Copies of this chain bind each other. A is one copy, B any other.
Amino acid sequence: MGKLLCVGSVAIDSVETPLGKRAECFGGSASFFSYAASFFAPVKLVACVGEDFPAEYRKILEKHNIDLSHLHVLKGKTFRWSGKYEGAMNEAKTLSVALNVFEEFDPVLDVDRDVDFIFLANIDPVLQTKVVERAVHQHVKLVAADTMNHWITEKRGELVKTLKGVNLLVLNDAEARQLTGEHNLMRAARKIEEFGPRYVVIKKGEHGSILLHDKDFFVLPAYPLEKVVDPTGAGDSFAGGMMGYLASTGKLDLATMKRAVAYGTVVASFTVEDFSLDRLRSITLKDINERFEKFKKILSL
């Protein structure tokens, strides 16, 4: 069993969707990622929060196999995000962002020889590169990263530099097109491979995902859901399920990677069934495995 390290944001979200609204709930890319991944393997969470971060949220993570020794409490308030989804809920409209303590975030890491899988959630590529420089050692098997439109536009050079040290890039379809200028996602994935990552995963939301490794494409639909309550955290928990599964097997061959993408898909399908971490908090690995088997059956020809 591998050990996984995740660097990203821990936040307090306010979300509105066609199915309801929730003020001041637990959010953040690293929270969703870590919770999802820790169904499969132990996770070390590197992030910062303000003095207002609820003790209750800390307990939620600690109880779920997540090491919080690098969750730094800084003077000030926790990162806050407020957003709204409409219609088919394909995209969040950000209503407000207050970086708060996250503005000063500088991930200080001990070189931890235990860690063999690293996930750089969607943060400034300058910070992502810092983590790679500080944390990557000979025992690290895989460095994965996420990014977003903002960094592709504002810090393209820094992002391209980060990608040289990244083995697996996970990003959404719009970001893949933006990064490469390619409409066709298969060609976009190939171009991303040239930036460095030997695995590329493109997330298409309700339409599933694409995995590229060497010459092989693997395509997967999303798990069919009749009720999506809140898509917040879907992408991060997809990455969490995927990386957690990889860490639990310790393998990186294509067959394992395909199953990892499918596990990510299944975990994300739970996430969106309720607000915040609520649905994930109500399930166990057994539920995930059961849905995985259903998914496998749906896909078998």
Which A residues fall within an 8 A CB radius of B?
18, 87-89, 177, 183-187, 190, 204, 206-208, 210, 217-228, 258-259, 262, 295-296, 298-301
Q: Is the CB of B262 within 8 A of A301?
A: yes
Q: Is the CB of B217 within 8 A of A224?
A: yes
- Which chain B residue lies CB-closest to A222? B219
Partner of A224, one of B89, B186, B224, B301: B186
Q: Is the CB of A219 within 8 A of B221?
A: yes
The contact sample of 24 A-B pairs, CB cut-off 8 A, is A18-B183, A88-B177, A89-B183, A184-B225, A184-B227, A184-B228, A185-B206, A186-B224, A186-B226, A187-B226, A204-B207, A207-B221, A208-B221, A217-B298, A218-B298, A219-B221, A219-B298, A219-B299, A220-B221, A262-B301, A295-B301, A296-B301, A299-B300, A299-B301
Query: Bound state CA distance, A262 and B259, in angstroms?
Result: 21
A224-B186, A224-B210 in contact; A301/B258 too (CB < 8 A)? yes
Partner of A186, one of B177, B204, B225: B225
Query: Bound state CA distance, A219 and B300, in angstroms?
Result: 10
Q: Is the CB of B221 within 8 A of A221?
A: yes
Q: Which chain B positions have C-beta within 8 A of A227? A: 184, 187
- Which chain B residue lies CB-closest to A220? B221
Q: Which chain B positions have C-beta within 8 A of A207? A: 204, 207-208, 221
Nearest Cβ in chain B — how far from A156, in angstroms? 21
Query: Bound state CA distance, A218 and B258, in angstroms?
Result: 19
Q: Which chain B positions have C-beta within 8 A of A210? A: 224
